[in-house]
Amino acid sequence: MSASETVRVGIVGASGYGGLQLVRLLLEHPHVELTYLGGDSSAGKPYSSIYPHLGHRTLPDIAPIEPDLIGDLCDVVFLGLPNGIACDLAPQLLAKGCKVLDLSADYRFQDLATYEAWYGKSRSDGEVAATAVYGLPELHRDAIAKASLIGCPGCYPTASLLALLPLLKQGLIFPETTIIDAKSGTSGGGRQAKTNLLLAEAEGSFSAYGVASHRHTPEIEQTCSALAGHEVRVQFTPHLVPMPRGILSTVYATMRDPGLVRDDLRTIYNAFYRNSPWVRLLPSGTLPQTKWAVGTNACYLAVEVDQRTDRVIVLSAIDNLLKGQSGQAVQCLNIMMGWDETLGLPNMGFYP
């Protein structure tokens, strides 16, 4: 597609945090016209009635989620819906000629039996699901460019896999020794009311959740297994941090060659991500902070080696709502359309 062409884009589920990020990003995108905002309970309302700070921008009112209407108005559709809903809508939109980017878990899995086991919904769209590409550009850039359906990765898998990819691709670790210790801000829980996300509950506290049972575990394992060439099980534990946004993932694994030092691994990481504009390997001895990534589509990485334990430790920081969700979805849109991968995406946040 020519860089001068404008693409008509819609967002289904525009009232959630993911939808809000998409609205903000797409309003600033030079090749996008935002033609549809869809919602269920909010249908018929001005978007500014939900987010008054956008009242100065011209936006469509929230419309009902009707495939015929969406197909008439849109070339590309982002689905910011709860798990288990997108898989009913995406096949209809694809049939109408729309490209679809799904922010839920519905199209992240190659094996729908895994999805059904972890998400508790029976699926009948196997033929459509088989065409979906996992939207991690640093791994599947070429496939994304040719795809019509993208299953956008979860925020924890994005942070964790970007830390792991070079190690797995080069066979530098024993994959089954992988331990992922990750922390997220409260916006990762979405905009709906949840007791553990209330200020009185979260402020001044730090807690784990989903121990040995978090739904992002099989998503991480799917990619690890594909790169390792055999089934891989990882230990993944998420934590809730009392801050609005950001993820810090600390990944541990045992090295196959204990003689490797930090500089060796840094050379490997720099080579692996040499064509990945959103991955930033920090200088030796500098460790990432979530504040650096918040408000951007960047992932900050640091690599360390513990020669005493023969382990590599990789730290990864992202904004869970941008590189971990909506920003990465726009990154995929850019690749699908043949545009520059950085187009319309924030490169630098505000500090402090």
Omega before 60 within 30 of 0, i.e. cis: no
Question: Does the pLDDT of residue 4 top 60, yes or no?
Answer: no
d(C-alpha 320, C-alpha 299), whole Å = 10
> Which tokens sit at 101?
């980017």
The pLDDT of 279-290, averaged and rounded, is 97
**DSSP sequence for 84-113:** TTHHHHHHHHHHTT-EEEE-SSTTS-S-HH
Using 50, 70 and 90 to split pLDDT, how confident is the model at 3?
Answer: low
Average pLDDT, the chain: 95
> Which tokens sit at 8?
């008509």
pLDDT in tens, 123-153: 999 999 999 999 999 999 999 999 999 999 9
Q: Is 195 helix (H, G, I), strand (E, B) or coil?
A: helix
Using 50, 70 and 90 to split pLDDT, how confident is the model at 202?
Answer: confident
The more confidently predicted of residues 5 and 113 is 113
Using 50, 70 and 90 to split pLDDT, how confident is the model at 5?
Answer: confident
Question: Does the pLDDT of residue 60 top 80, yes or no?
Answer: yes
Residue from 98, 155, 224, 299 carrying the catalytic annotation: 155
Using 50, 70 and 90 to split pLDDT, how confident is the model at 348?
Answer: very high
Among 315, 303, 293, CA closest to 170: 303
Q: Find tokens 């990819």 and name the residue.
A: 165
**Domains of the chain and any CATH numbers:** 7-152+325-337 (3.40.50.720), 156-318 (3.30.360.10)
* Terminal Cα distance for the chain, rounded: 39
The pLDDT of 317-323, averaged and rounded, is 98
* Cross-strand pairs, 248: 183, 317
Q: Please confirm, yes or no, whether 155 is among the known catalytic residues.
A: yes
pLDDT at 91: 98
Return the minimum-mean-pLDDT range out of 92-101, 183-192, 242-251.
183-192
pLDDT at 204: 86
Question: Does the pLDDT of residue 65 top 80, yes or no?
Answer: yes
Reported in sequence order, the residue ranges of the chain that DSSP labels E, i.e. its strands, are: 7-12, 32-38, 62-63, 76-79, 99-102, 133-134, 149-151, 179-184, 207-208, 235-240, 247-254, 279-281, 299-306, 311-318
d(C-alpha 103, C-alpha 107), whole Å = 9
**DSSP sequence for 37-91:** EE-STTTTS-GGGT-GGGTTS--PPEE---HHHHHHH-SEEEE---TTTHHHHHH
Alpha-carbon dihedral 238, 240, 246, 249, rounded to 10 degrees: -30
CB contact at 8 A, 155 and 188: yes
Buried b (16+ CB within 10 A) or exposed e, 15-43: bbbbbbbbbebbeebebbebbbbbbeebe
pLDDT at 2: 53
d(C-alpha 2, C-alpha 75), whole Å = 15
**CB-count burial class (<10 Å; 0-12, 13-18, 19+) for 149:** buried
Q: Is 150 helix (H, G, I), strand (E, B) or coil?
A: strand
CB contact at 8 A, 313 and 179: no
CB contact at 8 A, 214 and 151: no
Question: Does the pLDDT of residue 168 top 60, yes or no?
Answer: yes
